Amino acid sequence: MTKLSIKEAAEIVHGKLFLPDAFSALKIKHIVTDSRTFFGDDDNLFFALKGPRNNGHEYITELQNRGIKAFVVSESEVVSGKAAFILVKDTTKALQKLAAHNRAGFHYPVVGITGSNGKTIVKEWLYELLSEEFRIVHSPKSYNSQVGVPLSVLLMENNYTLGIFEAGISQPGEMDKLAPVISPEVGILTNIGDAHQENFQSKQQKTAEKLKLFRNSKKLIFCSDDENTAGLVREFCIQYNIDPVSWSMKNRDAFACFSKTAENGTTRLKASVNGESAEFDVPFTDDSSIENVCHCFAAVWTLSKHPEKILPRFSQLAPVAMRLEIKRGINNCLLINDYYNSDLASLSIALSVLHHQAQKSHLKKVVVLSDIRQTGLPSGELYRQVNQLLEQWKVSQLIGVGKEISAHPELFSAEKKFFLSTKAFEKSFMRNDFKNSAVLIKGARTFTFEKISDLLQKKAHQTVLEINLNALINNLNVFRSRLNPATKITAMVKAFSYGSGDVEIAKLLQFQNVDYLAVAVADEGVDLRQAGVQTPVVVMNPEKHSFQNMIDFRLEPNIYSKDLMKAFEKAVAENALTAFPVHIKLDTGMNRLGFKTAEEVEEVVAFLQKTDRLKVASTFSHLAACDDPQMDAFTQQQFSRFEMLSRIITEGFPYKIIRHILNSAGIERFPEKQFEMARLGIGLYGISLTNLPLQTISTFKSIISQVKKLKPGETVGYNCRGKITSDAEIAIVPVGYADGMDRKLGNGNGEAFVKGKRVPVIGNICMDMLMLDVTGLEVQPGNEVEFFGQNISILEVAEKVGTIPYEILTGISQRVKRIYIHE
């Protein structure tokens, strides 16, 4: 972003400026929208954005204390003489105005990309293909929202020669706000699918809304094979005098006409453009990847002066790593893998993640960084800026890999080591050099930093449970949307967060401002505290021998009996504490733990009124059958009983006491009974009763170790249960019942997803491996295998085993490596 005075910024966003004399010389260079991602520097302008549940105005005092001196706000009450303030009606619109102003200051070409699918992939592939001809500024990761787009466009500076930005919308009217921010000269409309369709009357309406991005474009790239979409695009181009750049697999009248031949995981594409022919290979065979490649080809032919020179680069395209991977490393290290993406903007984002992963966990912050290329900056200035970022986020050690970064050791103030290549790093690697550290591994794709990750990861077992943290955030927000803004949320992270990993999930939920976390036993809570989790933690099954740990680590017990209550009150008294928070469990029909009668509850109240050692934080109950419509009468009885019993407690004390009874299914079916809090369990992990737009967060997968060809009459596995009746190919996969694959899934009952197809398990499942019938798929060792996730539902797996998703998730062995992916 071009540096501005605070007065200029106020004029651009049409805001009223409150400027104490002490801040009159302020210059603005960087924009902050999330208090959690700010760490140092004095040329920042904070936009206090307001959403359904979060309000940036609440963090202004904290940010003032941390050094921010300038704010854009929409609430006049926060304006003070302690900083510079720009008062506007809508801070999001103000951010968009500032970005549009920044965009108008540059005259190099800008590409705008929108669609339902493929936006980020097309953007990243174009960056790879065109980076030798242009110096490119592009959207970090998938920054394509009402806030992400302006933040991306604000990265535009004079040293670039091409901009590539993506825009996503979820409802009508949103693109009208983004179009002037990007103002693309060249547009790309990718696949129009079903994403966010619930907010549009029809696919045609959604297409028309997305096309608004291109009203001032000169050229528009699109696929003409969908006649309905293509017709809308052509009408749009005529209306706004735009040159249509169509491509097709079947229409010979398109700008670019393609034919394809797939073999051994590679596709050869033949293109005809204006009478000229071109042939090139791509390392993909699936339809969506080929579609994205064709968009890129049309864009290359539109933008490049020498497109034929770029053709060989198509064969080097790789799947886009759009998300960070977070996994356990050696010697109590935490690895954050963000390789295949290296620029200043994405480095800043990754450093924010590094900081929050290391925060309060007593972990040293280490960055492994490759050369950063194609920025247009002189190398000295580039690495001075890198060092500034490292200093801001208090990185302890830098490990630089590459000739350019190694040539500038004097520019870095942290502890540092340099290697000319990844191979040189591998040769000098010593395990004991990495201890108690959060390690960010970030580099350009050519540096193959996955080799460094392999050296540092704790477990080499190729069977993994991949946890999509973005999907978990989506699911949290879906349930939040069904609750009142004031309703608190308790997130269940017991049983290793339903098999997903307790610390990582808890830290993410803390970052998302969940009000409480709930664990089963005190030991789980202690682990969270030792990992730096500060959110209040409820222990659902407290045991007397764990009372001291609970007190020492500020863990709040579920009190379900008079004996437990008296024993815990005594332990608190022995520690000379008062008002220690407790949660009173009421039994309204589950007939498990809890106080069942009014008389019992009155005794509890009487006891607590006589002591100042304990304070009731909440009272709650558990629904027994709210997921079953046939049991709704029983559920309503539970609600009535809970209201009666909880009233005895809430009326017995002068302070406010939280009530909660809804679990995930309850939030879906009975949101009117949310009281002051609700508990999120299995819904957080992607399981819905009523087809809420939840996302799968867990993918259980492995790789093929070996492939064998078998003849009729041969058998597979223990007890010769797998019978071969015709020529067959069998894949051996290193996952078994010791990893969590139930033996009931053997002998054709269970399936796996390999190379775009479902294949059956053949024979008995062994302790450490199983076999798949992959006849005709031409699989190879190293091919990925999914057992549940995006392609096979965990609900389907549970039904085949005769159980519930909880058991499947919690049954995944601890020896299975958890990998966390996060945008």
Type and span of the H or E element at 193: none
Residue that is last in its domain, among 297, 316, 335: 316
In SS3 terms, 342-395 reads as CCHHHHHHHHHHHHHHHCCCCCEEEEEEECCCCCCCCHHHHHHHHHHHHHHCCC
In SS3 terms, 693-734 reads as CCCCCEEEEEECCEEEEECCCCEECHHHCEECCCCEEEEEEC
Does residue 369 come out as left (phi exceeding 0), alpha (psi in the -120 to 50 range) or beta? beta
pTM for the full predicted model: 0.72
CATH code for the domain of 720: 2.40.37.10
Sheet strands (E) in 371-497:
397-401, 415-419, 437-442, 464-468, 488-492
Domain count, the chain: 5
Residue 718 is among the residues annotated as catalytic for this protein? yes
Same domain, 254 and 399: no
Contacts of 600 (CB under 8 A, 6+ apart): 562
CATH code for the domain of 440: 3.90.190.20
Tokens 């302890």, residue? Answer: 396
- The parent domain of residue 373 ranges over 324-457
Q: Is 439 within the bounds of a domain? A: yes
d(CA 778, CA 22) in angstroms, rounded, equals 71
pLDDT at 215: 96
d(CA 139, CA 124) in angstroms, rounded, equals 9
Paired tokens of 690: 């009523």
3-state secondary structure of 28: strand
Type and span of the H or E element at 616: strand 614-620
d(CA 538, CA 739) in angstroms, rounded, equals 30
Paired tokens of 764: 């008995």
CATH code for the domain of 18: 3.40.1390.10
Residues that constitute the known binding site for substrate: 592, 767
Same domain, 651 and 720: no
Q: Is 427 within the bounds of a domain? A: yes
Q: Mean pLDDT by 10-residue block, N- to C-terminus, for the chain (823 residues)?
A: 93 96 90 78 89 85 90 95 95 97 96 93 93 91 90 94 95 95 97 74 92 97 92 96 94 88 87 90 88 96 93 87 76 83 78 79 88 82 92 93 95 96 94 92 86 82 85 92 93 69 81 92 88 91 93 96 96 95 96 94 97 97 93 96 97 96 95 96 86 89 94 92 93 94 94 94 95 92 92 92 87 85 74
Closest by alpha carbon to 798, among 592, 451, 560, 498?
498
d(CA 400, CA 739) in angstroms, rounded, equals 37
Q: How far is CA 762 from the centre of its chain?
A: 35
Continuous H helices in 41-118: 60-65, 91-104
What is each CA distance from 271 to 186, 266, 278, in whole angstroms? 21, 16, 5
- Return the number of other C-beta atoms located less than 10 Å from residue 637's C-beta: 13
φ/ψ (deg, to 5) at 116: -90, -40
Same domain, 281 and 332: no
- Give the pairing of strands 751-754 and 488-492: unpaired
Continuous H helices in 13-90: 60-65
Does residue 55 come out as left (phi exceeding 0), alpha (psi in the -120 to 50 range) or beta? beta
Residue that is last in its domain, among 31, 63, 95: 95
Q: Is 22 within the bounds of a domain? A: yes
Q: Is 369 within the bounds of a domain? A: yes
Same domain, 661 and 531: yes
Q: Is 463 within the bounds of a domain? A: no
β-strand partners of 270: 259, 279
Contacts of 246 (CB under 8 A, 6+ apart): 221, 222, 223, 224, 230, 233, 254, 255, 256
Residue 494 is among the residues annotated as catalytic for this protein? yes
Q: Which residues of 212-240 are buried (b: 16+ CB within 10 A; e: fewer)?
A: bbbbebebbbbbbbeeebbebbbebbeee
φ/ψ (deg, to 5) at 238: -65, -45
Same domain, 658 and 742: no
Contact assessment for residue 211 and residue 236, using Cβ atoms and an 8 Å cutoff: yes
Query: Residues for the chain: how many in total?
Result: 823
CA angle 425, 427, 429 (to 5 degrees): 65
β-strand partners of 261: 268
Same domain, 577 and 652: yes
User: Looking at 16, 570, 709, 718, which residue is catalytic?
Assistant: 718
Contact assessment for residue 50 and residue 56, using Cβ atoms and an 8 Å cutoff: yes
Same domain, 294 and 172: yes
CATH code for the domain of 599: 3.20.20.10
- The radius of gyration computed from the CA coordinates of the chain, to the nearest angstrom, equals 29
Paired tokens of 391: 């200093």
d(CA 612, CA 580) in angstroms, rounded, equals 9
Residue that is last in its domain, among 637, 655, 685: 685
Paired tokens of 469: 């943290």
Same domain, 200 and 309: yes
The dihedral built from the CA positions of residue 467, 471, 475 and 476, taken in this order, carries a sign that is: positive
Q: Is 474 within the bounds of a domain? A: no
Sheet strands (E) in 443-561:
464-468, 488-492, 516-519, 537-539, 555-559
Same domain, 119 and 84: no
Q: Is 799 within the bounds of a domain? A: yes
Residues that constitute the known binding site: 592, 767
3-state secondary structure of 657: coil
3-state secondary structure of 508: helix
Q: How far is CA 581 from the centre of its chain?
A: 33
d(CA 427, CA 441) in angstroms, rounded, equals 17
User: Looking at 494, 507, 585, 673, which residue is catalytic?
Assistant: 494
Paired tokens of 651: 């009326």
Same domain, 633 and 661: yes
Contact assessment for residue 735 and residue 703, using Cβ atoms and an 8 Å cutoff: no
Residue type present at position 415 = E
Same domain, 433 and 521: no
Residue 543, exposed/middle/buried by CB under 10 A (0-12, 13-18, 19+)? middle
- Hey, what long-range contacts does 541-544 have (CB within 8 A, 24 or more apart)? 541/593, 542/568
Q: Is 184 within the bounds of a domain? A: yes
d(CA 84, CA 70) in angstroms, rounded, equals 5
3-state secondary structure of 181: helix
Same domain, 619 and 529: yes
Contact assessment for residue 449 and residue 399, using Cβ atoms and an 8 Å cutoff: no
β-strand partners of 365: 438
